[in-house]
Chains A and B, each alone.
Chain A
Amino acid sequence: MKASKARLVSVDGVDASAVIAAARRAIVRPGRGGVSHWDASGIFQDLCVADAAAGAPSARTLLLLYAADLAFRLRWEIRPALAAGRTVVAAPYVDTAMAFGRAAGVPVGWLTNLFRFAPPAAERHFVTATRDAGAGFVGLACQRVHGVDRRARRKLLGGAAAHLRAEAKRRARRAKP
């Protein structure tokens, strides 16, 4: 029997363009794989057109919405592709949301439980660039989150990037023989 080539690869970072570019590079054979992008469910698109009077969401609310979108991506994009023996690059996946949550002061235990439904990626890549942060989840979350002024927003974005860099370093250290 031929071994399955199904593989889940994650690419996480705050720079949306750099994440997409890294995701494309991560597909070794383009015909046998694809990229699962953030907001495939359109939840955040709907959130962006919501009336300002509805009130700004907190970090936890934004993370619950990110998890709902990820559940949608897993159901319609990631799991079916893996079942068909393809490589799926989830860009972004869990680490990006974890980094935003940690920068916003959300307890790690809550974040870990939230994403318990997501299978671990076989390969994890981290993008450390921060130039184009506006279009990604972290950029949007920093823009929309309740009670944060411009300075605090920059700090939050920097905090999320720092958490991702630290996680990338930790992974690299573990990978060394």
Chain B
Amino acid sequence: MAFEGPDGSGKTTQRKLFKTWLKSEGYDVVTTKWNSSDLIKPIIKSRKAVRALSPEEFSLLHGADFRHRVEQIILPALWDGKLVIADRFLFTGLARDVARGLDLDWVLKLYQPLLWPDLVFYFAVSPITSGKRVTATRMPNFYEAGQDVTDVEDPVESYQRFIARVIREYESLALIFNMITVDAEQSIGDQHRQIRELFLEGQRRPWSPWNTDAVAEWLAGQGMAR
């Protein structure tokens, strides 16, 4: 299951609440966050710190981080029958990279073989709400504010411009990839109830046929292919 949406949409709060509830229901849950692999994250972090990434490098390194997590965390957990909650999935890469001016087709193919979640929740907020929530407690960082592509010196102003582009891309992706849109402007409790209901309505599924390539390649890499 994937939780997607712009910064400040409250998806991390919902992910945590949902995980706690799932555990109380007896599920074995594994969480994976965007840009969090032990192997690639330090490489990205050091380059972000010196603002050394072009949109292509940004995209390719996040693609590498995602691939490594798919192979090391997500697929092994699913293979063991666990439930995986992804706090951001490949759609984050698509929305941000396209907002940075890269070609959607090129970026999408970087993530092949594609692994589709059974459910994707898209937490929809307006650019204004996202901006208000993010800047209420901190200053957005250089890449978060999209200052590498907006050329706007003020991080808050740059964030407003960049997040509007990211949200536009997210809205298109939500339609194309049939995400479940959650109105993230409503109360935390209402959102949580909606997510629980949608989860309970869904049935446990075997490997989706469109995930066959991703699973087969991973198994071959494990030396387990039959």
Interface residues of chain A, those whose CB is within 8 Å of chain B, are 41, 43, 46-47, 50-51, 53-55, 57-61, 64-65, 67-68, 71-72, 75, 105, 110, 113-114, 116-117, 146-147
* Given A58-B71, A61-B67, A110-B112, residue A71 in contact with residue B37 (CB < 8 A): no
Contacts A55-B39, A59-B221 supplied; 9 other A-B pairs, CB < 8 Å? A43-B61, A47-B39, A55-B68, A61-B39, A65-B40, A65-B64, A68-B56, A113-B109, A147-B221
Q: Identify 7 residue pairs between A and B in the complex whose beta-carbon atoms are under 8 Å apart, listed by A's number.
A: A46-B46, A58-B71, A64-B61, A71-B60, A75-B57, A110-B109, A113-B106
- Pick the residue among B39, B52, B64 that contacts A50 (CB under 8 A): B39
CB distance from B115 to the nearest CB of A (A): 12
Q: Give the chain A neighbours of B52 by CB distance below 8 A.
A: 72
B63 at the interface (CB under 8 A from A): yes
CB-contacts of B14-61 with A (<8 A): 37-40, 42-43, 46-47, 52, 54, 56-57, 60-61
CA distance A55 to B110 in the complex (A): 21
Contact B110 A50 (CB under 8 A): no
A113 to B108, CA, bound (A): 10
Interface pair A72/B221, CB less than 8 Å apart = no
Q: Given B54, B67, B112, which contacts A58 in the complex, CB threshold below 8 Å?
A: B67
Check if A61 sits within 8 Å of B64, measured CB to CB.
yes
CB 8 Å contact bits of B159-191 with A (1 = contact, 0 = none)? 000000000000000000000000000000000
- Chain B residue total in the interface (Cβ 8 A): 28
B residues contacting A by CB (< 8 A) are 37-40, 42-43, 46-47, 52, 54, 56-57, 60-61, 63-64, 67-68, 71-72, 106, 109-110, 112, 220-223
Whole-angstrom distance between the alpha carbons of A41 and B57 in the complex?
Answer: 10
With A55-B72, A58-B67: A50-B42 Cβ-Cβ less than 8 Å? yes
Q: Find out whether the CB atom of B37 lies under 8 angstroms from the CB atom of A54.
A: yes
**In the bound complex, CA of A54 to CA of B221 (Å):** 16
Give, as a whole number of angstroms, the nearest-CB distance from A169 to chain B: 29
